[in-house]
Amino acid sequence: MMTIGEAARASGVSAKMIRYYESTGLIAEAARSEAGYRHYTEVGIHTLRFIRRARDLGFTVEQIGTLLALWRDRDRASADVKRIALEHVAALERKAEELHAMSRTLTALAARCHGDARPYCPIMEDLAETGAGPGAPVVKGAPGGPARFGLGRPARRRGNG
C-alpha cells in the first residue's frame, strides 16, 4: 500500500490529478486508513501509469475512460481500441495542421514587420482585425476594433504635474 504522495511519485501523476481522477470516477476511490489517508495498491499504481501514458499521448479524460474500460475487458475486440487510436491520430493531425498554419501566418507577419522604433507593425494590424480575414483593411473605430478598447492612437503624455 502506498500513500497518495508515494503513488504520485511511482506513477508520475500528481496527487492533485489523482484526487481529480477519483472525483470524476476515472479511477476508483482509494481505500482509506483509520486516519483518513488514501492508500493505493500496485493495481491502482498500474492504472495511474496507464492514465499517465494515455495523457502523454493526448487522449482526453473521456477517451481514457473508454480505453480503461476496454483495457479491463479481456474479451474486447482490438478493432475497438484501434478505432479510438486512429480517431485520435486524425484529431492530432488536424491540430498539427492548424498549428502549422498559425506558424506560417506569424512567420509571414514577422517578415513584414520592420522591428524598429516605428509604431507601425503588420503583426499588430493583423491582430487588430475583426475577423475579416488576412489582408482585409483595418477600419479604425470599427466595432470590435482597436478603438473599442481605447487602443486608437496613443494618448499624449502630460508633464509631471
pLDDT tens track of the chain, all 161 residues?
Answer: 899 999 999 999 999 999 999 999 999 999 999 999 999 999 999 999 999 999 999 999 999 999 999 999 999 999 999 999 999 999 999 999 999 999 999 999 999 999 999 999 999 999 998 665 555 555 454 444 444 444 444 444 444 44
| Residue 105 pLDDT | 94
Residue ranges of the domains in the chain? 4-76
Measured torsion, CA atoms of residues 87, 91, 94, 100, in degrees rounded to the nearest 10: -130
φ/ψ of residue 131, rounded to 5:
80, 15
| Residue 129 pLDDT | 85
Beta strand ranges found along the chain (DSSP E): 31-32, 38-39
What is the CATH number that goes with domain 4-76?
1.10.1660.10
